[in-house]
Structure 1
Amino acid sequence: MFRLPQNHVTAVVLGIMQDGGLPHAGCRCARCEGAFADPARAEYVACLGLVDNREKETAVYLFDATPDIKYQLNLLAGVLDGHPTRPEAAAWPPRRSPYRLRQPDGIFLTHAHMGHIGGLPQLGPEAMAITQLPIYASRELGHMLLENALWQPLVDNLRIVPLVAGQTVDLAADVSVTAVPVPHRDEWGAGTFAFLIQGPERRLLYLPDIDDWAQWPEAEAILSSVDVALVDASFYSSDELGGRAPVAHPLIPDTLARFAHLPTQLVLTHLNHTNPVLNEGSAARTAVIQSGVHITFTGQQFPL
């Protein structure tokens, strides 16, 4: 559970890994073996929280619903205080159950891949049992969720808020989220968004997945326009998968070469379990640090 500053808008990192997390299913590499043997060495799938605790009722949003969502919600237990026992009651403060967290105020989905929507079933009647939870997603992804018969008991309790490219959602008078389309493999035609979060004082870009910076001509202009950018850093080198599959993400050295000179605080996230920057003292990690770029960690906070 994290401590967050009072009377602030804060983005907080709730996970740093590619969709499969650490340890990775079926993997016997030293890094995964270590995490299987010692859960303290495990890392959650990439996720960002946004907390606005300036009002008497704290507003809490997630960016992506990962397979680790139950742990990530628990990290926010200090702001997701007890679940209302009588949500229809008009009295303030509402009665709270000390044994349950309340649901977040909304979840923004970047795209349809497993690591970004795989936690949604945990919100259904078999587990958290949310009620009319706002889900902000592309129109196509929203339609996919609503038409998925396997998830029908869940989606009946979701309130899909369809987004189009460039659309801004106002969360408060001085807090907003804008959907920014980025190129990423798209098996269902549902698209991929990065999210530009505008706070009272600072702007943050959350971009956990992209195929190639060269396919996104607006990259440098958009990254230059924000104070902090958390970007896709899945792989350091193209040989990490041993030829088993193509590396359909920008390599970290390319990201550094393109953007390390920007005044933006550049932060690497969405790391594959094969990525050598996960190793303290590795040559790859040292190269990133020496470039002035940051490697994120669960619990890192960005005041906005």
Structure 2
Amino acid sequence: MIEYQHHSIKAIILGIMQDAGLPHAGCLCHRCRAAYADPVLKEYATSLAIVDTRQDQSKVWLIDASPDIREQINILADVLGPNSSLPGRLRQPDGIFLTHAHFGHTAGLMHLGPEAMDVQHLPIYCSNGLVEVLQQSRLWQPLINNLDLFPLDPFQRFEIASDLYIDSLPVPHRDELGTDTFAYRITGPNKTLIYIPDIDDWNLWPEAREFLRAADIALVDASFFSEDELGGRAPVAHPLVMDTLQFFDQLPVQLWLTHFNHTNPVLDPNGDARRQVISAGGKIAYTGKVFDL
């Protein structure tokens, strides 16, 4: 259980896996078999919450609407509290920021529509291109009536509460729909966290070192440890973990790894891959981890 201190701002990890979570659909690898056999080993797709308890009514924002949003909203039940208009229901979040269009980061929107949570005028913040895709797709039309879509420009600073800011930072990531991908910089009164669940290559992001040097915490893409995980498939556009560790070696920011593919040996608590990460100064994200901002 997460304990929420009054008069604080926190970022809370709600999931650590690549889009399809753990276990992976149709997978017979040892990690997925173990997670199917023991639900305690299940891990949710990557998502982050921002929680502001400085007022009587706490404010709660999500970053990304993962396929596991049902469970992730339930993690926040205590701080969301009951819905005053709908007995027996939780209050809806105060907003959701989407990093990009891929299903692992948007599929959870389906649980917000009239067939499920039935939110009312829930603010959704995302790129201009993603707003257009959501508005123009007939598939999403029944849901759009429940949402208020707010387009964000690249490098736009948005004050979501007093002394609490989010900046949309464009990063290179495969963009089949032309909708862009954002990292989000979250700046509270005391600390700054940069959330980068997806990026193609650190060297393709010219501003990377500038932004990371100015942050206290970086929670970043660690999908694959090595190309051996791909089983002969074409390389996937994500930096390998060891490349990320090397890139961050001279940066003063606290490095946390997230967005793990189910094949990633870093997931094994006693494995050599995790020991390499820890010895290099990296940290492994976990659901329920709280960062004070």
| Equivalence for 2:119 | 130
SS of equivalent to 2:230 = coil
Deviation, 1:148, is: 1.7
- Alignment deviations for residues 122-162 of structure 1 (CA, whole Å, 9 cap, x no partner): 00000000000000000110111111212212111110000
Deviation, 1:4, is: 2.0
The number of aligned residues is 293
| Equivalence for 2:216 | 227
- Equivalent of residue 174 in structure 2, options 158, 165, 185: 185
Partners of 2:132 and 2:107 lie apart in 1 by 16
Deviation, 1:217, is: 1.5
Consecutive unaligned residues in structure 2, runs of 5 or more? none
Give 4+ residue runs of structure 1 displaced > 3 Å after superposition. Answer: none
Are the equivalent residues in 2 in contact too, given 1:108–1:137 (CA < 8 A)?
Answer: yes
- Alignment deviations for residues 224-264 of structure 1 (CA, whole Å, 9 cap, x no partner): 11000001000000110111232210001011111033221
> What letter corresponds to residue 205 of structure 1 in structure 2?
I
| Equivalence for 2:265 | 276
Which shows bigger deviation, 148-157 or 183-192? 148-157
Deviation, 1:186, is: 0.1
What are the residue-to-residue correspondences of 1:286-297 with 2, within 5 Å?
286-297=275-286
SS of equivalent to 1:160 = strand
> What letter corresponds to residue 145 of structure 1 in structure 2?
L
Partners of 2:249 and 2:5 lie apart in 1 by 29
Which shows bigger deviation, 235-244 or 189-198? 235-244
| Equivalence for 2:184 | 195
Are the equivalent residues in 2 in contact too, given 1:260–1:293 (CA < 8 A)?
Answer: no
- Equivalent of residue 218 in structure 1, options 194, 207, 218: 207
Are the equivalent residues in 2 in contact too, given 1:66–1:115 (CA < 8 A)?
Answer: yes
What are the residue-to-residue correspondences of 1:1-304 with 2, within 5 Å?
1-85=1-85, 97=87, 99-304=88-293
Partners of 2:56 and 2:136 lie apart in 1 by 37
Deviation, 1:220, is: 1.4
> What letter corresponds to residue 303 of structure 1 in structure 2?
D
Partners of 2:57 and 2:244 lie apart in 1 by 39
> What letter corresponds to residue 53 of structure 2 in structure 1?
N
Partners of 1:260 and 1:142 lie apart in 2 by 37
Which shows bigger deviation, 150-159 or 108-117? 150-159
Are the equivalent residues in 2 in contact too, given 1:230–1:267 (CA < 8 A)?
Answer: yes
- Alignment deviations for residues 86-145 of structure 1 (CA, whole Å, 9 cap, x no partner): xxxxxxxxxx72x21111000000000011001000000000000000000001101111
Partners of 2:207 and 2:34 lie apart in 1 by 40
Deviation, 1:7, is: 1.2
Partners of 1:40 and 1:148 lie apart in 2 by 37
> What letter corresponds to residue 124 of structure 1 in structure 2?
G
> What letter corresponds to residue 179 of structure 1 in structure 2?
S
| Equivalence for 1:89 | none
SS of equivalent to 1:239 = helix
Deviation, 1:177, is: 0.3
TM-score (norm 2): 0.98
TM-score (norm 1): 0.95
Consecutive unaligned residues in structure 1, runs of 5 or more? 86-95
Deviation, 1:193, is: 0.1
Partners of 1:261 and 1:5 lie apart in 2 by 34
Alpha-carbon RMSD across the aligned residues, in angstroms, is 0.9
Are the equivalent residues in 2 in contact too, given 1:260–1:266 (CA < 8 A)?
Answer: no
Partners of 1:153 and 1:3 lie apart in 2 by 36
